Amino acid sequence: MKKISILFLFALLMGCGATINYDYEKSTDFSQYKTYSYFSDMQSGLSELDEKRFIAALNEALKVKGFTMAESPDFFIDIQTEVYDTNNQSNVGVGLGGGGRNVGGGLSIGIPVGQSSMTRLILVEFIDKDRTGLFWQANSSSSYRQNASPEKREADFRTLAAKILSKYPPK
List, for residues 80-136, the tens digit of each pLDDT value: 999 877 665 555 555 555 555 655 555 555 555 555 578 899 999 999 988 678 999
Say yes or no to pLDDT of 33 above 90.
yes
> pLDDT category, 51, cuts 50, 70, 90?
very high
Asked whether residue 42 carries a pLDDT value surpassing 60, the answer given is: yes
The confidence score (pLDDT) of residue 85 equals 75
Average pLDDT over all residues of the chain: 81
pLDDT score at 14: 40
> At 18, which CATH number?
3.30.160
pLDDT > 70? residue 20: yes
Strands 75-86 and 117-128: antiparallel
Q: Which domain holds residue 32?
A: 2-167
CA–CA dist 135, 126 (Å, integer) = 6
Query: What gap in Å lies between CA 53 and CA 166, rounded to an integer?
Result: 19
The sign of the torsion formed by the CA atoms of 60, 61, 67, 70 equals: negative
Stretch among 2-11, 26-35, 80-89, 157-166 having the lowest mean pLDDT: 2-11
Q: Tell me which residue of 76, 68, 81, 59 sits closest to 141, measured CA to CA.
A: 81
Q: pLDDT tens, 142-156?
A: 887 888 899 999 999
Answer whether residue 36 shows pLDDT above 90.
yes
Tell me how many domains the chain contains. Answer: 1
Confidence (pTM): 0.72
